[in-house]
Amino acid sequence: MKKIAVLFSGQGTNFAHIVNTLHKKELEVVVALTNKQDAGGIEVAKNAHIPLEIVDASLFESREDFDREVVSRLQKYQPDLTVLAGFMRILTPVFTEEIKAINLHPSLLPRHKGLHAIEMSFEDEYPTGGVSVHWVTSELDGGEIILQKEVEKESLDFAAYDTKIRTIEKEVLAEAICKVLA
């Protein structure tokens, strides 16, 4: 069975979806890692009995030092793939040159890289928005696209659009993980 690591910073809803739909069925989540001491996803890991690593970014002098520690911790588990599921850090080559990773992003890349992508996507001139899963490189949200799914914006207010994006991102992420590991 293929092994993955999942990195998250927030509530861990995408991580929870991976655990509920893929863990011990299609793959094994061998470690979860967060950069936030109070991330909601910590409970997901504990409830699923998945090893958890907490690496507090504020304890490191540089991004590179933080990334070195993350790489060291991940390498102990030897995952076949690392999945960034709401991991809110810009990663340096210290990470990107050592770890095979994919990232979920809530817009149709290359549009709207970085933060606030859902809001920017909703307000842009295109009739559709969507989500992307891409390979992680040193360029922010710049790696090769693995999978994208569009959402029609017509007749949706922002709350409905946001809900739709957050729903399909879980499906697209799971599909992309399986595609990459196949």
Pairing of strands 52-54, 28-34: parallel
> Does residue 168 contact residue 130 with C-beta atoms inside 8 Å?
yes
Catalytic annotation present for 105 = yes
> 23, 105, 112, 134: which is the annotated catalytic residue?
105
8-37 residues labelled b (16+ CB within 10 A) or e (exposed): bbbebbbbbbbbeebbeebbbbbbbbbbbe
Nearest residue to 15 via CA among 37, 38, 47: 47
Catalytic residue positions?
A: 105
